[in-house]
Structure 1
Amino acid sequence: MSLSVTDTALLSIALIDLAGIILWIGVCLHLAYTKMDLMLEHLKNCPAIMTRAPLRHGGPWGKLLLVGGISGIVTFPKFYLKRGEISSEDLANFPGPLKRKLVALQWSVICLLLVMISFGAAVKSGFL
């Protein structure tokens, strides 16, 4: 059985998306195990982070959730600043290279999930 060009392209997109999500998890876990103390030290005055800080003792899943939460907060700080859940001083003093990595991680997972959701919706609707 041979696949058509369309089927091959769709399969390639799905596999690349799945590989991207697995790579994203690996990068997040690497950051969690190597930079967690640095991230928490720079965000020690942020209630939104400190309420999530016990997740660091929750194994790989907890560390993944904590890095995801920190990257969301660093990427979209206005939402948390309005509610007083993060300190603007802590955010300003956060290391630039690490902040850029977290922002890139957040936007990449948003894009990967959008591709996966749109792919699933297209399959479910019978479009593909």
Structure 2
Amino acid sequence: MDFQLILAIILAAGTLIFAGLTIYAEYTKLEALESYFSQNKVICDNKRFWGRNQHIDRFHRMLVINGLLGMPKFHIKRGEVTEAELASVPLSLKRWALWPYHFGMVWIAGCMLWSILYGW
């Protein structure tokens, strides 16, 4: 097997894994995450704007929570979230919010590698 075929198989499998993880997190963990930020202005405004329960709405609501959990010091300095709100979220729920998107970043890096190596 050559490297191009192996990379293509890994990227194809990564696509399915990324899609499955994000859909699972959005449909099973989003409400639990939002319950910990029920008094947060940023989350409430975002939920009001993306209030329908379509996939794109859930995706954008999850992105805001992912941003708050992914860079907590930055958002605490800006006053968008408090330390108490972040500390109230259980570690397992934080992992379900962050890991699908971290996996997606690795997948995007693999796609860039593919395009650089094979000039797609």
**Residues 115-126 of structure 1 mapped to structure 2, 5 A cutoff:** 115-124=110-119
**Residues 1-128 of structure 1 mapped to structure 2, 5 A cutoff:** 5-6=1-2, 9-54=3-48, 55-124=50-119
Distance 2:101 2:72 in 1: 13
Residue 85 of structure 1 aligns to which amino acid in structure 2?
E
Scaled by the length of structure 2, the TM-score of the pair is 0.80
When the two chains are superposed, the root-mean-square deviation of aligned CA atoms in Å is 2.2
Give the 3 Å change call, closer, same or farther, for CA 11–72 of structure 1 in structure 2: farther
Shift of 1:116: 1.1
Q: Deviations over 1:80-111 (max 9, x none)?
A: 12211122211110121111222222321111
Shift of 1:44: 2.0
Distance 1:91 1:109 in 2: 23
Scaled by the length of structure 1, the TM-score of the pair is 0.76
Give the 3 Å change call, closer, same or farther, for CA 110–86 of structure 1 in structure 2: same
Give unmatched runs, 5+ long, in structure 1.
none
Distance 1:56 1:121 in 2: 39
The share of aligned pairs that are identical, in percent, is: 21
Q: Is residue 28–residue 67 contact of structure 1 (8 Å, CA) maintained in 2?
A: no
Give unmatched runs, 5+ long, in structure 2.
none
Shift of 1:56: 4.6
